[in-house]
Amino acid sequence: MYCGICHTDLHHVRNDWGITMYPVVPGHEITGVITKVGSNVKNFKLGDRVGVGCLAASCLECEFCKSSQENYCDQIQLTYNGIFWDGSITYGGYSEMLVADHRYVVRIPETLPMDAAAPLLCAGITVFSPMKDNGLLKSPGKRIGIVGLGGLGHVAVKFGKAFGHHVTVISTSPSKEREARERLDADDFIVSTNSKQMQAGKRTLDLILDTVSANHSLGPILELLKVNGTLVAVGAPDRPFELPSFPLIFGKRTVKGSMTGGMRETQEMMDVCGKYNITCDIEVVEPHKINEALDRLARNDVRYRFVIDIAGNSSRI
């Protein structure tokens, strides 16, 4: 029914990472209703409201698969631009139907609309997972920073507020400040190109999530962390981060990464969204407008996620 347009789709369409196997059918923020089930599938039935994210397959035998961290299996196959067990290339959610292994399908809570829930399958879980991993679900009152107010960033702000934290947005777009504060309820907003604001923010944050899709230096951002603070990089620019040693050393700071999330955690994230009524701020586009939407995404002109109305169903849900 719906598929979000993640910046990863744009990276693939443009072959930013040099790994695209054309023709590519992107899309890993997929929601829909089940129309067929295999004979061995017991946990889903026709008509169920479900979602599929980034994972198509994993080995099911390694320590990561066994602990439902399938996202870290070294034989992981992704929903698109992956090579499936039978040698075929996987095609993603910019399509009218999708065949998925039931192990990589999650339920969408009844209270969430299918269109605004779609981006949770990648943007949502990608920011939820490091927040959980760094103890933010159960210990409110931390000061967290979200770098880049895009698809991932805006959901991160919503999670941060729902879990009781003080949330600072660090952005290159002064035009996003008002709605960040008013609509997303961010507590603070730093324009990263404003050296005064960056100076005033030094050593104020416990944890930073960097969601930026473009090449940039981590140095000035690291300065915003308290001593012993952690920066989790989830954005995936096509060139290495600039990582100067002084802000690392002088603040005993940590930089680490995080890759989407496991299946158990993805369902947990969905259920949390159902509980707190967290959905994405979306602009729905028809399939023939996909190229236009990708161009606008490249220009940072989206608030905050395009979602393709694959089946032309928006009025019927």
Footprint of ligand NAP (CB under 6 A): 6-8, 11, 122-123, 126, 148-153, 171-173, 176, 211-214, 216, 234-236, 258-260, 297, 300
3-state secondary structure of 249: helix
Classify the C-alpha dihedral 220-303-262-159 as positive or negative. Answer: positive
What's the min distance (Å) between Cβ of 8 and Zn ion?
Answer: 4
* 211 contact, one of Zn ion, ligand NAP, none, CB 5-8 Å limit per kind: ligand NAP
Task: Provide the terminal-to-terminal Cα distance of the chain, rounded to the nearest Å.
Answer: 10
Q: Which residue, 152 or 184, is less far from Zn ion as judged by CB?
A: 152
Q: Taking contact as CB under 5 A, which single stretch among the options 34-42, 115-123, 159-167, 217-225 is the one that binds Zn ion? A: 115-123
What's the min distance (Å) between Cβ of 54 and ligand NAP?
Answer: 7
Nearest-angstrom CA–CA distance, 105 and 98? 11
Q: How far are the Cα atoms of 34, 190, 200 from residue 196, in angstroms, in the given order?
A: 53, 10, 6
Site string (51-90) toward Zn ion, x via CB under 5 A = ----------------------------------------
Binding of residue 266 to Zn ion (CB under 5 A):
no
Q: Which residue, 8 or 58, is less far from Zn ion as judged by CB?
A: 8
Q: Which residue, 174 or 312, is less far from ligand NAP as judged by CB?
A: 174
Q: Which residue, 8 or 279, is less far from ligand NAP as judged by CB?
A: 8
* 171 contact, one of Zn ion, ligand NAP, none, CB 5-8 Å limit per kind: ligand NAP
Where is 218: in which H helix or E strand?
A: none
Nearest-angstrom CA–CA distance, 64 and 83? 20
Q: Which residue, 166 or 176, is less far from ligand NAP as judged by CB?
A: 176
Alpha-carbon dihedral angle through residues 122, 223, 164, 173, given to the nearest 10 degrees: -60
Binding of residue 122 to Zn ion (CB under 5 A):
yes
Residue 79's identity, in one-letter code, is T
Tokens describing residue 188: 């603070």
Q: Which residue, 214 or 317, is less far from ligand NAP as judged by CB?
A: 214
Tokens describing residue 133: 């991993």
Sheet of strand 282-285, all strands in order from the earlier edge strand to the far edge: 105-107, 49-52, 30-33, 2-5, 305-309, 282-285
| Residue numbers at the binding site for Zn ion (CB under 5 A) | 6, 8, 122
